[in-house]
Amino acid sequence: MRRRGDLTFGFSLVFWREVGWLRRRPLLLAMTTFIPLAVMAVLALLFSAGLATRLPIGVIDLDRSDLSRSIVRAVDATPDVSVATAVSDLAEGRRLLLSGRIHGLLYLQNNLERDVQGGRQPEVVFFYNAQTMTAGNIVLRGINAALPTVSSGIRLSLRTARGVPAGEARASLQPVPVQLGALFNPTLDYTFFLLAALLPTVLQIVVTTSAAYSVGLDVETPHRLRVLRRLGDGLLPAVAGKLLPYTILFLVVLGLADAVLFGVLGLPLEGSRTLLVAGAVLFILACQFIGGLLALVLKPMASAVSMATLITAPALGFMGIGFPRFGMNLFAQWWGAFLPGTWFLTLRIDQTIRGTPLDLSTKPLIILGFFVLVPALLVLLRLEMLRRRAEGPALRTAEAAA
């Protein structure tokens, strides 16, 4: 028999009631499991290659000399681009660029070899579409890597032909050598930063909207809210029992996604696994409490779900994935700062790619803790306010009858 004040029993009742709701509501179950897993699977397939290579470009070779052919071979030998087609004129090259069949156009003018041998500096022109920033930067990087190599070889040949010793000629080409060291992502793999950042972004939207939907089901009528409180025998066990099934589901979803990232796609884990798990728990709880708070403040439930989507959907632009946050205006910086996903993403990158020491990784973890604590307190205060508002007329009636 149930005893008044048995918090464990009340928590268990609400927990299994919520599990039953998940089984009876296919939309809610899909929102919490199938949809995020499907989105993450699609993203993993899209970025499984890790790096875009051999992007097609076109070539207009008006010189048709040994030098121009060596330039074309050097460009085609780079891993970034592939010489896909020979183009007759600029009009045809423009059509191919606009159609997307090629991502760049290399233009080699007349008398290129003659001008080089005569000591003049002819120009090699390269056209690319700057609107497609990723593809455009990749083909530009390939051209910038190939042409200096050819140019250095030409200058070296000219100087040695004039009687300059080979060692002295090489030293004159690059008097101060530069050694480059790419940190944290030396292979420039998009999986290591873009895919690893997109998964928490998608999960933030799903968790917040699902929490707004599930809590909104109980807030739609005062009767359901009273039933929830009495089943849990108090606000705290009722809230804990209601949120915990979804917390477990989202942790499983995130764990499956990370298993693919770390196990299949080879994302490095340079930091603390414990810190990463703790951040994931705080991140999911923070999103749940934010969604629950929206459901308690906004009615009907559709308004809460819409507001949750409106707040979290622009996260990809404000979390610093494609553009650094310090370069944004104050509005974008504040929006990103008030999203728990921003701080979870910081912690995630620190503990996977960078291997940041623990003492430098406590800031995002502490901020995630505040994102859990503050909305949780506001949820409990709002529930207590709704309870007093609902019980007020009954108490006044009882006092009048007495």
d(CA 253, CA 200): 11
What pLDDT shows up at residue 129?
85
Bridge-based pairing state of the strands 104-108 and 55-61: parallel
Q: What is the mean pLDDT of residues 141-165?
A: 70
User: According to the model, what pLDDT value does residue 150 have?
Assistant: 75
pLDDT tens for each residue of 77-89:
888 899 988 998 8
Q: Does the pTM of the predicted model rise above 0.85?
A: no
The neighbour count for residue 211, using CB atoms within 10 Å, is 30
Q: Look-up: residue for tokens 């207590």?
A: 384
Q: What is the pLDDT of residue 1?
A: 39
Tell me the Ramachandran region of residue 234: left when phi exceeds 0, alpha when psi lies from -120 to 50, beta otherwise: left
Q: What residue segments make up the domains of the chain, in order of their start?
A: 7-47+191-390, 55-170
Looking at every residue in the chain, the average pLDDT score rounds to 81
Other Cβ atoms less than 10 A from the Cβ of 213: the count is 21
Question: d(Cα 395, Cα 401) in Å, to the nearest integer?
Answer: 10
In what order do the strands lie in the sheet containing 55-61? 81-86, 55-61, 104-108, 124-128
Nearest to 60 by CA among 77, 78, 79, 85: 85
More confident position, 132 or 280? 280
Q: Compute the distance between CA of residue 302 and CA of residue 367 in angstroms, rounded to an integer.
A: 29
Q: Per CATH, the architecture of 55-170 is what?
A: 3-Layer(aba) Sandwich (3.40)
**Pairing relationship of beta strands 81-86 and 104-108 according to DSSP bridges:** unpaired
* Rounded distance between C-alpha atoms, residue 123 and residue 115, angstroms: 10
- How large a percentage of the chain has pLDDT more than 70? 84
Q: Assess whether pLDDT exceeds 60 at residue 173.
A: no
Residue 25 sits at φ, ψ, to 5 deg, of -120, 95
The CA distance from 114 to 63, in Å, is 9
Three-state SS across 282-293? Answer: HHHHHHHHHHHH
Residues in contact with 275: Cβ distance below 8 Å, sequence separation at least 6, in sequence order: 347, 351, 358, 361, 365
Q: What is the pLDDT of residue 353?
A: 80
Amino acid identity of residue 268, one-letter, is P
Which residue's entry shows tokens 């974008």? 332
261 pLDDT more than 60: yes
- The pLDDT-based confidence of 285 (bands split at 50, 70, 90) is very high
Query: Cβ neighbours of residue 290 under 8 Å, at least 6 residues apart?
Result: 208, 211, 308, 311, 340, 371, 375
What mean pLDDT is predicted for residues 209-230? 78
